Amino acid sequence: MKTSPFLIEPTPLQRVMFTVAMALLPGIVLHVGIYGIGLLVQLVLASATALLTEAACLYLRGRPLGPALSDGSAVVTAWLLALCMPPLAAWWLVVLGTAVAIALAKHAYGGLGQNTFNPAMVGFAVLIVSFPAQMARWSAPLPLAVVDLAGWDLVRLIFGGAIPPGLAFDALVAATPLDAVRTALHQGQALPTVLDAPLFGIWGGAGSEWITGGWLLGGLLLWQQRLIAWTLPAAFLGSIVLLSGVSHWLAPAQFASPMFHLSTGAVMLAAFFIVTDPVTAPTTPRGRLIFAALAGLLTWLIRCFGSYPDGVAFAVLIMNQAAPFIDQYTQPAVFGRKRA
């Protein structure tokens, strides 16, 4: 019979990052199947840039290259950023965003485990604020696309901006479901009329519902492997469901339903892969609930009233800044002592 003390063997960082990468694969496969292979090019570009930037920063800091380059953290950051990028985005966008994420958001704070903000979200926020037009050039889902670019035509478009003869750039891109809803509502259209367009599926954007299922499947794998706490995604998603449910019930012509918010955009990806970042989230149980619930609140507010279609990145970064204060004021009482 085993008796205490029980020792918990620490999980190697390489194994954690490998599991996170495996959990991202279902969503990546569905993303490629719906939007084309442009995402694979972005993943390769982001991964290569992340490793090169990581090596350069480690060299300048006088740190050994081997352990940091092999732990997988830079590649996971690159993948998370690439998954938020338009599949047909110019090569320099993902390279710039990844370099900012690794150099400024990670190493400027002291490296892995010391960063205050989620690096992938910093890179994305810099790009969406600096280059809003280029970041809005999402390709249409393949069933709705005028043409499916592949092979050399895709490479020429991403690396040189060359459009195949006989095509206009507008034929290759389309507004995202969130952007389409936001624009239509600002024009005074009723939401039910907007959602009848071919761009939308049963609950949300056409195709994005399946990708959301991939993120959910990967997130459940992380929870099953005990790499994330269920409280963070539950509070984040619960906050969005509560707010969108009440607003949709009060004004269905102006506010989307909870299923639309859950199955469109980066909500499900953020719930399991970004909000759960152990470095930038609070450490106390009550603090995690507050952190994730407020991130969900900010995401919904930005989506409904802000200038950007999706507010996940900004909501996460704002709450990252508040995480130390949340930890400070949610510390449990010391064992054997009463609170003042």
pLDDT of residue 77: 95
Which CATH number applies to 13-174+196-326? 1.10.3430
What average pLDDT does the chain have?
86
Dist. CA 312–CA 137, nearest whole Å: 18
Q: Is the pLDDT of residue 169 over 60?
A: no
Q: Is the pLDDT of residue 144 over 50?
A: yes
Mean local confidence (pLDDT), 123-147: 78
| Whole-prediction pTM | 0.89
pLDDT of residue 185: 80
Dist. CA 251–CA 260, nearest whole Å: 15
Q: Are 23 and 8 in contact (CB under 8 A)?
A: no
The residue extents of the domains of the chain are: 13-174+196-326
Dist. CA 202–CA 263, nearest whole Å: 10
pLDDT of residue 5: 63
Q: How confident is the model at residue 168 (pLDDT cuts 50, 70, 90)?
A: low
CA neighbor of 118 nearest in space, from 72, 68, 80:
80
pLDDT of residue 9: 56
pLDDT of residue 8: 57
pLDDT of residue 37: 84
Mean local confidence (pLDDT), 233-259: 93
pLDDT of residue 199: 76
Q: Is the pLDDT of residue 13 over 90?
A: no
Q: Is the pLDDT of residue 146 over 50?
A: no
What tens digit of pLDDT does each residue of 267-309 get?
999 999 999 999 999 999 999 999 999 999 999 999 988 888 8
Q: Are 292 and 240 in contact (CB under 8 A)?
A: no
Q: Are strands 173-174 and 138-139 parallel, antiparallel or unpaired?
A: antiparallel
Mean local confidence (pLDDT), 158-186: 70
Dist. CA 309–CA 318, nearest whole Å: 17
